[in-house]
Structure 1
Amino acid sequence: MNIFQSDIKLSNIIYMILILFIHFTTVNASESPILIGLDADMSSGSARAGIAIERGAMIAIDEINLAGGVLGRQLELKVKDHRGNPARGVDNMNQFAGMDSVVAVLGGLHTPVAMSELDTIHKHNMIFLVPWAAGTPVIENSYKPNYAFRVSVRDEYAGGFLIKKIIEAGYRNPALLLEQTGWGRSNKTSMTSAMNRNGLTSAGIYWFNWGVNDLGEQIHAAKNAGADVLLLVANCPEGVVAVKSMSLLPETERIPIVSHWGITGGNFFEMTKEFAVPLSEINFYFLQTYSFLKPVFSERNDRLIRMYQKKYPETLSADNIFSPAGTAHAYDLVHLLKKALEIAGTTDRSSVRDALEKIPFHEGLLKNYVYPFREDMHDALNEDDFILAKYNDAGVIVPYIFRKILNHDSKF
């Protein structure tokens, strides 16, 4: 064999190796899972919210994968823990953006973290699915195109809903007790706007920082200003402090607390067991969007509960599903993402983002979604999807009707 023939043979071998490499790389790429990220507090004060979101997403992913996946591929969840820290959240988002197989990232409870991540999200064209953070600017932002989509509460609607409920109950002088964050400021705007529309006069706006250990001074000031009800915007740790401070007042001096839903993202009920006064003796209500105990669609609800109990066998009944709204929102969001992937026919983030605005209909857990997202509206829920709830004596979240004559409070 001469040198020329030897070179041809070597070239053929190299060519065949290259073809085989390309073939197997292509096959592996088509068979590799489509990744969904989760960036939430998984270990700090609002970890229950993060775990609830993870569970809702995992149940939807299992359901989709059992049915054959999407675009011929399975879905897989990758979880990162920001622990409520905005800088860590941005770090996590940059890491997700660097993973080619990640098509979207689910966020967590904290509006301040979500707000800090928006630049990074849009820099990398990363689809951001919001199952909890309620701050209006998370969605109503200046980015075009907007990559943030939410199935959750929007503060602009929550403020109007809560004000409407206290008016229906007969209260006229609400005081606002708000955390000093972007989420608190978002609620100040929505609540004061709703009060103005309804001719209510505020008994004052009182602020607190994360980590506060006593809110007695703010509550006394609100009562001295004539407050007959307290509207609270807090997450679990500070929510516990607010309710404890109210519990220390004599029974005749306590006023009802109507809270945003951030308190349900942690071990709120368990933390109130140390109070001298049981939580049942504090008139405490809060916003919710979903109850596994009173579902809109019983068959869909029961199917999810069966899957939940199979995957998490320590769950004896629907009563044991904690932070139910987080689970329900994440479940619906993952199914909506699946529909967008099918419409787009690709995992290209920009194409999937566009497809999310083109979903005509989806039979969800919370509702039947008709065009849930449009170019000018990326919030899938509105005031009609909200309810008030409270903890029962066993610590289970149950829907409740809020009335001024508290003896007549009753379940829906």
Structure 2
Amino acid sequence: MTLRFSRRQAIVLPAGIAVGSLVGRSVLAAEPVKVGLVAALSGQSAKSGEGITRGLTIAIDEINAKGGVLGGRMLELIRRDDESNPAKGQTAARELIDKEGVSVLFGGIDSPVSLAIVPIVNQSHVPFMGVWAAATNVTRNGADPNYCFRVSAVDVLVDRALIKYAMTKFGARKPGLMLVNNGWGESNFSGLTAAAEAAGIKLAGTEKFDDKDADMTPQLQRLREAGADTIILVGNAAPGAQVMKALQKSAWTVPVVSHWGISGGRFPELAGSWAGRVHFVQTYSFFGPQNDVGKRVLAALMAKYPDVKGPGDVTPPVGVANAYDAMQLTALAITKAGSTEGPKMREGFLAIDDYQGLIKTYTKPFTNENHDALNENDYVMVRYNGEQIEPVSG
């Protein structure tokens, strides 16, 4: 999946292969800085990998057009498909680190995959930048030194936001949990249980499902009998769609508040007419007034990708926005480090002061105590309108 081209050719490459600009001969001779991405590029969550690729690519285009990093070295993106499989994610990470010599590794949507990669990057002293997977222990992993950073949601914070939203928007006092049966689901079980207790409400119950489960009716029926007045969903697009189909089949019109996994795949297509009933979290929306960075990024997306005709076509927006800001912050870390050596880059991340980003203005985004650049104030609630993801009104 790695191709080499001249710098002039690289300008018109498809997303995610190699990006650059025609500059002086000395720059052309410089070794590129390789940036790795391990993400779902196929399967039910392929939209997530595509969104991340586009966000990284737009940022790399901008950085390379300004002369790259470290005095003229171009950034080159090399991707590997993890197929949403932790073992394949580990193999891809080792290949990118050991064979391709990437200076930094970006992760995808699946928390189990990112959690499997965490020990590899910490042992290899190669920075890892999470841009989607939200499991709390991706960054809070106990390693010292810790090479994992993130520009994404964090489950422990998202869970507070989901409980608060369910209470204020739908008057929830007894929500029921529908959680994927893996490490991501476990991360949210802990966070949602604590958030409900802090809010002074009681959970109706907790039900789990596997990604390939085709019928969620039994779990939902148990929650209904337990008096659940809202469903809080944590899962990716395909099982999330099965939840909505089961609700529709049983004519149970309970409100559904969801984590963002449903936005990384073909949820509207798979869920059908009830897809728009789900309110879910994102970190950014391209709808509404945009700051200067937002205007620039949206214009670049429309210019580079023919299918993007406006804000509603930037799907999933969370993958694009998180990846864009994460790549820009990574370039700043390289500049601060004056090097692509892992330990120096790690210190470079910690040395970043301010950056006017797409999602927000970052001030000391990373510290020794906190490797997560976003917090609960950086989330927005959205819903599907057809294939488009739009902010919830009212």
Q: One fold, TM greater than 0.5?
A: yes
Tell me the SS of whatever aligns to 2:178: strand
Question: What percent identity do the matched residue pairs reach?
Answer: 37
Equivalent residue for 1:292, pick from 286, 297, 302: 286
How many equivalent pairs are there?
Answer: 367
Where does residue 60 of structure 1 map in the other structure?
Answer: 59
Distance in 2 separating the partners of 1:69 and 1:158: 35
Alpha-carbon offset, residue 278 of structure 1: 4.5
Alpha-carbon offset, residue 212 of structure 1: 0.3
Equivalent residue for 1:351, pick from 344, 355, 363: 344
Matched, 1:279 2:275: yes
Where does residue 36 of structure 2 map in the other structure?
Answer: 37
Amino acid at match of 1:302: K
Where does residue 124 of structure 1 map in the other structure?
Answer: 124
Alpha-carbon offset, residue 29 of structure 1: 10
Do the aligned partners of 2:245 and 2:274 also contact (CA within 8 Å) in 1?
A: no
Amino acid at match of 2:75: L
Tell me the SS of whatever aligns to 2:165: helix
- 1:270-318 CA deviation, whole Å, 9 max, x = no partner? 2233xxx5534xx3211111000135x4321111111111211221212
Tell me the SS of whatever aligns to 1:302: helix
Amino acid at match of 1:272: A
Do the aligned partners of 1:233 and 1:260 also contact (CA within 8 Å) in 2?
A: yes
Q: Which runs of 4+ in 1 moved over 4 A?
A: 27-30
Per mean C-alpha deviation after superposition, the further-off stretch among 117-126 and 374-383 is 117-126
Distance in 2 separating the partners of 1:352 and 1:171: 45
Amino acid at match of 2:390: V
- 1:37-91 CA deviation, whole Å, 9 max, x = no partner? 0000101111100110011000000000011111120101000001011111111
Larger Rg: 1
Matched, 1:397 2:389: yes
Amino acid at match of 2:174: N
Distance in 1 separating the partners of 2:144 and 2:275: 46
Tell me the SS of whatever aligns to 1:309: helix
Where does residue 201 of structure 1 map in the other structure?
Answer: 202
Alpha-carbon offset, residue 99 of structure 1: 4.0
Amino acid at match of 1:36: V
Do the aligned partners of 1:33 and 1:101 also contact (CA within 8 Å) in 2?
A: no
Amino acid at match of 1:316: K
Where does residue 157 of structure 2 map in the other structure?
Answer: 157
C-alpha change, 1:303 and 1:29, in structure 2 (3 Å) is closer
C-alpha change, 1:142 and 1:30, in structure 2 (3 Å) is farther
Distance in 2 separating the partners of 1:208 and 1:272: 16
Do the aligned partners of 2:242 and 2:271 also contact (CA within 8 Å) in 1?
A: no
Matched, 1:376 2:369: yes
Where does residue 5 of structure 2 map in the other structure?
Answer: none
C-alpha change, 1:28 and 1:382, in structure 2 (3 Å) is closer
Distance in 2 separating the partners of 1:80 and 1:113: 13
Distance in 2 separating the partners of 1:97 and 1:391: 38
Equivalent residue for 2:318, pick from 325, 331, 343: 325
Distance in 1 separating the partners of 2:231 and 2:383: 15
Where does residue 245 of structure 1 map in the other structure?
Answer: 246
Matched, 1:108 2:105: no
Q: What is the correspondence of 1:72-111 to structure 2 with a 5 Å cutoff?
A: 72-99=72-99, 101-111=101-111
Distance in 2 separating the partners of 1:355 and 1:126: 13
C-alpha change, 1:337 and 1:279, in structure 2 (3 Å) is closer
Amino acid at match of 1:279: A
Do the aligned partners of 1:175 and 1:205 also contact (CA within 8 Å) in 2?
A: yes
Distance in 2 separating the partners of 1:313 and 1:198: 46
Distance in 2 separating the partners of 1:98 and 1:246: 47
Do the aligned partners of 1:259 and 1:285 also contact (CA within 8 Å) in 2?
A: yes
Where does residue 267 of structure 2 map in the other structure?
Answer: 268
Do the aligned partners of 1:36 and 1:75 also contact (CA within 8 Å) in 2?
A: yes
Do the aligned partners of 1:177 and 1:205 also contact (CA within 8 Å) in 2?
A: yes
Alpha-carbon offset, residue 118 of structure 1: 1.3
Tell me how large the CA RMSD over aligned residues is.
1.5
Where does residue 362 of structure 1 map in the other structure?
Answer: 355
Where does residue 145 of structure 2 map in the other structure?
Answer: 145
- 1:92-124 CA deviation, whole Å, 9 max, x = no partner? 111111146411011000000111111111111
Gap runs ≥5 in structure 2: 1-25
Distance in 1 separating the partners of 2:98 and 2:27: 19
Matched, 1:183 2:184: yes
Amino acid at match of 1:395: E
Do the aligned partners of 2:352 and 2:364 also contact (CA within 8 Å) in 1?
A: yes
Amino acid at match of 2:208: W
Distance in 2 separating the partners of 1:351 and 1:89: 25
Distance in 2 separating the partners of 1:242 and 1:104: 37
Tell me the SS of whatever aligns to 1:398: strand
Where does residue 300 of structure 2 map in the other structure?
Answer: 307
- 1:226-282 CA deviation, whole Å, 9 max, x = no partner? 1000000000110010011111122xx320111100000001112233xxx5534xx
Tell me the SS of whatever aligns to 2:297: helix
Where does residue 135 of structure 1 map in the other structure?
Answer: 135
Alpha-carbon offset, residue 347 of structure 1: 1.1
Do the aligned partners of 2:166 and 2:172 also contact (CA within 8 Å) in 1?
A: yes
Amino acid at match of 1:226: G
